[in-house]
Amino acid sequence: MRNSDFFHGDLNGKNYQLNQKIWVIANHLSILKIYCFDFICLNNQVVFSQKSQVIINLGWGELVKDNDVEAFKCFNEAYKTAQLEKDTENTALSLLYMGICTYSVSFTEGLNYSMRAMEEFKKFELTSPQKALHGRSKCLQLISTINSRQGNYKESIRLSKEASLGFPISSNDTSGTLD
């Protein structure tokens, strides 16, 4: 098979584009991954309410590889699944993580997702105040980061200090939020 069957453009390494078939396969890869996780979950008898967490973990796997688009797709799917599961925590986390995926492209979208996530975490104030505080702190840290990127340093510092109240000083941060 010739290179021209797979690529369009010159053969000197410039302006290569994937041909239509490969693009379609790559575009649908994330859906295939989700279906594979569905199959694994069903065969291992993972409870339905954990499905959104599995998809969130898949999204994090994509995010750490700097594959923001695939990560966003996973977090969006996790959001929809968490809503069906009536899982407020994973709904909030999915929104927060969509904010992390989008803020580098659109501060407005990143802020929107983080504010929506904060509203979801707020629902824990009566039943689990520590969970509400921790979730709120994660959201504030993202908002602080966005403010910093916009040049609003004083507001960013204030929000970051407020966010740190939700993270115990004596414990190591295993979430990666305070790195």
What is the predicted pLDDT for the residue at 170? 60
Distance CA 100, CA 114 (A): 8
Q: Which fold has domain 19-164?
A: 1.25.40
Q: How far does the chain reach from its first CA to its final CA, in angstroms?
A: 47
Task: Parse the chain into domains and list their residue ranges.
Answer: 19-164
Mean pLDDT in the chain?
78
pTM higher than 0.85: no
Look up residue 125 and give its amino acid: E
What is the predicted pLDDT for the residue at 174? 61
Confidence bin at 50 (pLDDT 50/70/90): confident
Distance CA 65, CA 59 (A): 10
Which is more confidently placed, 48 or 139?
A: 139
pLDDT in tens, 8-40: 444 444 444 443 344 434 444 444 454 445 444
Distance CA 75, CA 61 (A): 11
